[in-house]
Each structure stands twice: as structure tokens, then as C-alpha cells.
Amino acid sequence: MSDTSNMDVFNHEAFSGHEQVVFCQDETTGLKAIIAIHSTALGPAAGGCRMWHYRDNSSALNDALRLSKGMSYKNAMAGLSLGGGKAVIIGDAKTGKSEELFRSFGRFVNGLGGQYITAEDVGISVSDMEVVSQETPHVAGLNSGLAASGDPSPFTARGTFNGIRAAVKHQLGKDSVAGLTVAVQGLGHVGWHLCKELHTAGARLIVADINEDAVRHAVKEFGAKAVSCDEILFAEADVVAPCALGAILNETSIPKLKTTIIAGAANNQLEKDTDGMLLRDHKILYAPDYVINAGGIINVAAEIDGKYDRKWVDQKVAAIYDVLLDIFKRADREQDATSTISDLIAQEKIAQASQAGRSGKTERSGAKKDIVA
């Protein structure tokens, strides 16, 4: 990698708490990837792999570290016996894919001996993961196999929809999104399924995406209003649902928001930890991203367990509503940011599991074992 001078991993602000970071390179296939394992205290690190044309390698490292930490917190808050990890493949998902590249990535994953379980994320499809699975069994979100359940995006969208309902209940005192305006930023797999959920429930939609075909389709299918990618975050709406990339909420963007609820599926929406309190100061309710978007990993966890149980998945995804309501209420009681409260709860869960492990008392009976708060 060309810019290693900017990749002092141990002193990186996002490295804190990480157990392992693996840099993967295969000159034959052109693979350049980073696998970040934040924590295995609760179980093997699980988290998707994304393929993105990063500005530079330092940006890729930062993304991998932030995302893997978020996965640790996400899995802990969802009550799963899974730790947190994430992989990024550096490259253009439209032009850089090949069977050889994904098989090479699979060999790197396999070399970790089950410490990391991968799945699809931004830029990666189920079919890509099927190729990876030819080299390693440590893959989830597949269409084939004993417990395969396919694309987890609909479950992520359903959990996000439940989280929006919780935010609307807490902030607006309404039991339904019917008649409310929701601005959805990003119409990828999750964003599209979320629009379907919202439209069915009677919400009015404002949408934006870099894919103009997806926007036109949303306008036709859902009667959505289309705006530019630069406008969507600042649309006048009851709810703004970020479903694209992260770091969009910061000291510059937050004062410009024209909503009182931010509740969407994108990872790492806050640019800095302090931005959670900035949202609170502006009287904007924020649904912590790794809590609201946990539906996909819940579905994947059922697959990892080897005995896929759709009823269990649906119950856990529905519970996102109550988990968020509890966070909102505690944040109000303690006059603190919802993101801070969520972080504290997740950290407590991970710390308890780490202590139990050091004491030799950890009992792991599969990914579906619930962790008591």
C-alpha cells in the first residue's frame, strides 16, 4: 500500500480496543483488503465486507476500524453471542470484481480460523459471498447451504422501520408513521426495502441517491419526491433516514438540519462522538445507528447458529423498537446523548463478557444465546 506513512495503526484514534487488524494483499488477483477484529469477548467477530473506491488507504483503515467497533456494539446491543469485526476491500465495486479476487479474500478469512465471520455489505452481493464461501466456511448471508437465508437487507430495513416507529413514538407521541414525511438518503438494498416498509405504512417519502434509475423507480413506485444528494439531509421532514455512507452528522451539517428525528440504517453516522450531544442540544432525537440497523446481523446470527429460525429472527428484529425506547428514556433521564447511553450499555456488556472469559466462566452455546443487559 502506497501511503503507509499515514497508517500508524497502534496510535490511530479508532484503533482503541481492537484485538487484531489484518492487511491482506494478493498481487496476482489485485486484492487489497483490511480485516479488523475489534472484540471476540462475546463470540467470534462477525461483520460484513464492503468494497469501496477509497480516497486513500488511510481512509480504508479508518473505515474498517470504525465499522468493526460498531459491529461489536451492534452485536452486544442485539443480545447476540458474537463479537465485532469488519472487512473492506479497496477497489471499485463496478469494475474491480473477479472470482479470483473473492476467492483470494476467502483464503485470508479462512486463515483466521473462524475468529472472523464475513458477509455482504456495501458494494458486495450475495453472489460475491458465494464465491468467498468456496474458500472458507466462515461466511454468512448466502443463498445456498443448510441454514442459508439470503440477502439480510430486508431484515435491516425492517429493524430500521421499527426504530423509526420508536423514535416517532418518543419524539412526536405518535403510534404510526402514516401521514409523516420521511427523507431517505440512499436507495441501495436497505434504503429501497425501507422505502417499501414506509410507503406501505402510509408515510410520504423524499428520496435521493447517486443512482438516478433508483430514484426514478422510487418516484414511480412510491410516489416519492426526488431531491438532489446535496439536499436530502436538509429536507424538511418529520424523520431523516440516512441509508448511505457515514460521517454525515457533524458540527457543520447538524445546525442545518430541518428535522427533529434522525433514524436511518447507515453505519457510523456521527463524524465524532461529541456530535451525539450536539444533536441533543439542537433538540434532535438520534437513533444510534448500530442499534437501529441490527436487523441484518440478527438474521445472519441465526444462519451462523446453523439452525435458522425465522420466528426467532422476527422477534429479535421487533425488539429493536423496545431497545431504542429504553435508550431514549434513559438519555432523557440522564440528560445525555442517546449515542453515549448506547455506547455505555454496549461497553458494559462487552466488559462483563471479557471478565467472565478471564474467569473461565464463559459459556458459548451458539450465536443465538441472548446476553442479559
CA distance 257 to 262: 9
With beta carbons less than 8 A apart as the criterion, state whether 186 and 206 touch.
Answer: no
Write b or e for each residue in 295-312: b if 16 or more Cβ atoms lie within 10 A of its Cβ, otherwise e: bbbbbbbbbbbeebeeeb
Q: Residue 361 and residue 14: Cα distance in Å, rounded? A: 30
Q: In which residue are the cell numbers 429504553 written?
A: 326
* Cβ–Cβ under 8 Å, residues 123 and 186: no
Query: How far is C-alpha 62 from the chain's CA centre?
Result: 15
Is the distance from CB of 266 to CB of 244 less than 8 angstroms?
A: yes
Per the annotation, the verdict on 86 as an active-site residue is yes
275 close to 337: Cβ distance less than 8 angstroms: no
Catalytic residue among 86, 97, 316, 368: 86
For residues 163 and 263, the answer to whether their CB atoms sit within 8 Å is yes
Please give the positions annotated as active site. 86
